[in-house]
Chains A and B, each alone.
Chain A
Amino acid sequence: MKTKLKELRARFGMNQTELAKRAHISRQTVSLIEREEFMPSLLIAVKIARVFEEPIEEVFQFDEEELQ
């Protein structure tokens, strides 16, 4: 799974702590997702996507192979 989280944060001028507060998740989780060490649950993915007002598939992208 690839994520545009870092890119979106930069575009919105947001640090990890701020995003975590707005999405009501921990900064540790944001950091893990950005480093692609953790695949978020659907709930967390929705919370993050809502902060950026983007659809989930814009923030998190899967390779075709992963979806087979």
Chain B
Amino acid sequence: MKSWFKFGLQMFLGGVVGYTFMYVYLNNETIQVDLTKLVFPLTLLLLLSLLGLIAWGFSRVQRIRRLTKQPLTGDEEDEAEGYMYQAYSDGSLASSLTIILSLTSASFILLTDQSPSFLIATLLSLAVGSILTYSLNTLLPIMYPERSLPKLSDPDYAQRLLDLSDDGEKHVMLQGLYKTNISTTSLMTFAIILLLVYSIVTGDSQLFSIFVVTLIMVFTNVQYIHIIRSKN
């Protein structure tokens, strides 16, 4: 059922993009897209999303702190460990999204000439997002006191954390990364097509963005092949 839905969605999106492209090409005209009316509501939506993400992220940090303080045994301890793992994953997602959305909001606010107070709010959320990331990292030794985790000041922190992971954890990461890699490649390809169609439809060239997306795709593909090729 899931694969049918995915197939249907791909067909639908392909149809929409194809139809729009052909319509504009055959009629040889450009469509005026007026985004100015959407600027203020979009800014508010972005700022509210950031606020929600920050609240969600810190609620996960609090949940982990509460769980680590509970003296549990038996199946309850296993259950609490599972909840902690999920809360940590949610917190990581919240912090990553906060940083990404903050950067997007800052760019949006700067490019649409909006009130500096919005920009300050966005920069604040960027700082809070970084604090959230830091808080999550400081929780790791509390969650797993028996593991000799690297210090946060370690310049090779991410690599050392990966090295410390056991095979089961790496298996989970591989599954996640493999699926993410496939969807990233498809989405990037779709982004290039979308940017091309947008450029033609509006007459507003997105060539620079197409080059940037292409460069990222080339870099990630070359990096992946370079890593696996050397392990023969």
B184-229 CB contacts (< 8 Å) to partner A: none
Q: Does A21 contact B (CB under 8 A)?
A: yes
Q: Does A51 contact B (CB under 8 A)?
A: no
Task: Return the chain B residue nearest A22 by Cβ.
Answer: B146
A1-51 CB contacts (< 8 Å) to partner B: 15-18, 21, 25-33, 38, 40-41, 43-44
Given known contacts A28-B85, A28-B172, A38-B171, is B166 in contact with A17 (CB within 8 Å)? Answer: no
Determine if B146 and A21 form an interchain contact, defined as CB atoms under 8 angstroms apart. yes
Contacts of B29 in A (CB 8 A): none
**Chain B interface main SS type:** helix
User: Size class of A's contact patch?
Assistant: 10 to 19
Q: Does B168 contact A (CB under 8 A)?
A: yes
Determine if A25 and B81 form an interchain contact, defined as CB atoms under 8 angstroms apart. no
Task: Please give the number of chain B residues whose Cβ is less than 8 angstroms from any Cβ of chain A in the complex.
Answer: 16
Given known contacts A15-B73, A21-B146, is B78 in contact with A26 (CB within 8 Å)? Answer: no
B22-49 CB contacts (< 8 Å) to partner A: none
Determine if A15 and B74 form an interchain contact, defined as CB atoms under 8 angstroms apart. yes
Task: Return the chain A residue nearest B76 by Cβ.
Answer: A15
Task: Return the chain B residue nearest A37 by Cβ.
Answer: B171
Determine if A26 and B169 form an interchain contact, defined as CB atoms under 8 angstroms apart. yes
Determine if A16 and B78 form an interchain contact, defined as CB atoms under 8 angstroms apart. yes
Extra inter-chain contacts (14) besides given A15-B78, A26-B165, A40-B168, CB under 8 Å: A15-B74, A15-B75, A25-B166, A28-B168, A28-B172, A29-B166, A29-B168, A31-B82, A32-B171, A33-B168, A38-B167, A38-B168, A40-B167, A44-B167
Query: What residues of chain B have their CB less than 8 Å away from a CB belonging to chain A?
Result: 73-75, 77-78, 81-82, 85, 146, 165-169, 171-172
5 contacts between A and B (CB under 8 A): A17-B77, A26-B168, A29-B169, A41-B167, A44-B166
Query: What residues of chain A have their CB less than 8 Å away from a CB belonging to chain B?
Result: 15-18, 21, 25-33, 38, 40-41, 43-44
